[in-house]
Structure 1
Amino acid sequence: MEEERNTYLDELSGDGCRIGGYPIFVQYGPRENEELRTFDTLLLQLDCEYECDLMFGDGGIANFFINEEDLKKLDFTKVLYNWDCC
């Protein structure tokens, strides 16, 4: 059971840096705000990486979102940046 738990934590959790996929939030997702729901695609997620001294507050995370249609057009003029921490 411990081995399966470690596999989940290492490979399947939402933590970590990523391009695309599903975001995680420390507090709440900014897209809960109706005006920001058009930013429907995770572009980049940066999590704390102690090995390279990347830190957002006290154990925080940074997310960049874009509208799917803008991404298809490679239009990066409207990107939503959000970070939060414990």
Structure 2
Amino acid sequence: MWPQGATNGMTVAGGNGGGSDPKQLSLPRAVSVDRHKNVYVLDTFNNRIQKWTPGALRGITIIGNDGPGSRSNQLNSPFGMRFDS
């Protein structure tokens, strides 16, 4: 995140090496930020979307993380996402 007027950016999601722990990401491909400054990251190799609230040290899985598949709670190598506010 790079707040307006800042001279340094800050890591708001990940930054703890690649992996599957809630504080890690593996091939993040897409990012979205909502009006509350929650950051949503499409975590491709973990087949999940993680939500990072402002100041959080760990992401919250909002979909996926049950392995790849086609059930309603699974993703299979996702490469894009869209949110409607």
Q: TM-score, normalised by structure 2?
A: 0.29
Q: TM-score, normalised by structure 1?
A: 0.29
Higher fraction of helix = 1
